[in-house]
């Protein structure tokens, strides 16, 4: 049976890349009965129908899976956040990072639109909070070129996914890395202060030097339907490393005595805003379980 990797999914069609070229496929109906659906990044088997077309008949086991953005088998997630236009949203960044950690992916943070920030302390504060949490952070500007080569090196030799809020500059960043892509970009809505969606579907792009990246549509909401309260702190690296020192196994780091995480927050070892977001997410997960 021929096989390949889905590189794009549009309107019910799955474009499978093989050694002989790309094949446009539909998915076999049995996947609906199993409540499965092929995803970009999946390795699949397919049955050819006519030249250049086929039907996906088998989805190979996935190494990793993200539901938002929907993609399988990536090795690294690049969370793209802008300093301005739209304004930096730490709470949304932390939501992305929780989902990435929950799936066991490596995370890289790209802070874009450096050229719009005059106050260096703003940049230092954000970067320091996440470097201390254990993340790689690259500050970028497509207008000055700052950070673009560094990011390109981080993408080499692996399949990465770009994820982030609408309008933060994902497509502009990819165009700067590889100008031949010529991805469509858009402006931020002045009224809503949010980006307009310019990427309409998930697609794997070839970057050269063995690197591939999935460009994804932007979005502004992300929740935690598949997570237990006890899962959450493990998705914050700075809490995960300190949790074994808490008095109680399964400590939720709220009001428990001798909580090493809360002590670290009080001493400035853990970013206070990150901790507040953790408590907010914990409440959301508890509320979801009640309903």
Residues within the annotated binding site for GTP? Answer: 112-115, 164-172
Annotated binding-site members: 112-115, 164-172, 246, 251, 253, 259
Instruction: Please state, in angstroms and rounded to a whole number, the distance separating the CA atoms of residues 209 and 156.
Output: 6
11 vs 201: CA distance, rounded Å: 9
**Full DSSP string of 175-190:** HHH-GGG-----PBPT
109 CB contacts (<8 Å, ≥6 apart)?
A: 78, 79, 81, 93, 97, 130, 135, 136, 137, 138
Within 13 Å and on the Cβ side, how many CA atoms surround 183? 28
> Which residues fall in the annotated binding site for Zn(2+)?
246, 251, 253, 259
Burial 65-87 (b: 16+ CB within 10 A, else e): ebeebbbbbbebbbbbbbbebbe
Contacts of 223 (CB under 8 A, 6+ apart): 95, 284, 288
């Amino acid at each position: 049976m021929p096989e390949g990797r889905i590189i794009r999914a549009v309107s019910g069609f799955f474009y499978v890349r093989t050694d002989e070229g790309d094949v446009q496929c539909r998915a076999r109906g049995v996947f609906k009965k199993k409540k499965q659906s092929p995803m970009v990044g999946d390795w699949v088997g397919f049955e050819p129908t006519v030249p250049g077309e086929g039907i996906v008949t088998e989805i190979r086991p996935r190494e990793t899976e993200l539901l938002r953005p929907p993609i399988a088998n990536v090795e690294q997630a690049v969370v793209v956040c802008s300093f301005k236009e739209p304004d930096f949203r730490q709470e949304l960044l932390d939501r992305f990072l929780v989902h990435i950690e929950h799936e066991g992916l490596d995370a890289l943070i790209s802070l874009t639109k450096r050229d719009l920030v005059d106050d260096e302390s703003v940049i230092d504060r954000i970067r320091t909070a996440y470097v201390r949490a254990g993340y790689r952070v690259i500050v970028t500007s497509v207008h000055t070129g700052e950070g673009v080569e560094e990011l390109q090196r981080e993408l080499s030799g692996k399949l990465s996914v770009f994820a982030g809020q609408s309008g933060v500059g994902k497509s502009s960043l990819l165009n700067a890395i590889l100008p031949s892509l010529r991805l469509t970009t858009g402006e931020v809505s002045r009224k809503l202060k949010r980006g307009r969606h310019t990427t309409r579907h998930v697609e794997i792009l070839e970057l050269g030097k063995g690197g591939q990246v999935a460009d994804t549509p932007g979005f502004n909401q992300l929740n935690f339907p598949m997570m237990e309260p006890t899962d959450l702190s493990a998705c914050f690296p700075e809490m995960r490393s300190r949790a074994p020192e808490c008095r109680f196994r399964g400590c939720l780091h709220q009001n428990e005595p001798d909580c090493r995480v809360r002590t670290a927050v009080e001493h400035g070892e853990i970013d206070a805003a990150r901790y507040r977001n953790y408590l907010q997410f914990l409440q959301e997960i508890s509320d979801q379980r009640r309903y």
